[in-house]
Amino acid sequence: MLKARIRSQLKLKRLVDELEQTESVIFMLALAVEAKDSYTEGHLRRLSHYSEQLALAYGLSREDARFVRYGGMLHDIGKIGVPDAILTKPAKLTPEEYEEIKKHPEYGARIVAPMRFAKEVGPIILSHHERWDGRGYPEGLSGENIPIGARIVAIVDAYDAMMTDRPYRQALSKDEALRRLRAGSGSEWDAELLAVFMRLVETDELVLPNGSLTEALEKVIV
């Protein structure tokens, strides 16, 4: 009996250690993106938090929601491979610059490919710019062919971008952001998922994360 309990405790410790190591890698990669694009710190923290909330509200399991959270945190990790001059350009991108930006989902999927969670998180990173109507990138996937985690991240990514000051425009109001999301329901975004997300926003159930990305990293690696 005692040996069985010891084995169980050792197994639990190994699982906790693996989780902590995985979380540390995720946050450190996210910080690397932040170093290239100062806009992303609050964005990545909020996006991971919002993505997990939407996943749970939609009915995904806690484990699946955790992978969606990782996908939200790492969705833009491929921007490490995009030139700084393009990322921080205050004016409209040229067609050539936009084509370069569009490579970041593929770069990101390659970066996480060696990691334990690549099977679950890689498709989220790769497909978070796909559209429900098939007019997105990089593969032109449509409808339910787009991984559900990517569909979740696409919605919260768009909302947070609208609600944030960018180099080329000021933040929109919540009402205007919701209007634009509603206009893209069933074309740009999954209508069913979007309805759940909009309910979270309209009822003030969407909770902001506490602390900064750096503080989150410190809590994980201590």
Amino acid at 170: Q
Domain annotation covers residue 163: yes
Catalytic residue among 13, 79, 92, 102: 79
Q: Which domain holds residue 115?
A: 18-221
Query: What's the mean per-residue pLDDT of the chain?
Result: 84
**Can you give the length of the chain in residues?**
222
Domain with residue 58: its CATH number is: 1.10.3210.10
Instruction: Out of 12-21, 93-102, 156-165, pick the least confident.
Output: 12-21
Indicate whether 7 belongs to any domain.
no
Rounded Cα distance between 194 and 58, Å, is 10
DSSP string for 13-51: HHHHHHHHHHHHHHHHHHHHHHHH-TTHHHHHHHHHHHH
The pLDDT of residue 28: 74
Structural domain includes residue 5: no
Closest C-alpha among 15, 18, 48 to residue 31: 48
Domain count along the chain: 1
Q: In this predicted model, what pLDDT tens digit does every residue of 146-193 receive, in sequence order?
A: 999 999 999 999 999 999 877 667 889 999 999 999 999 999 999 999
Is 119 one of the annotated active-site residues of the chain?
Answer: no
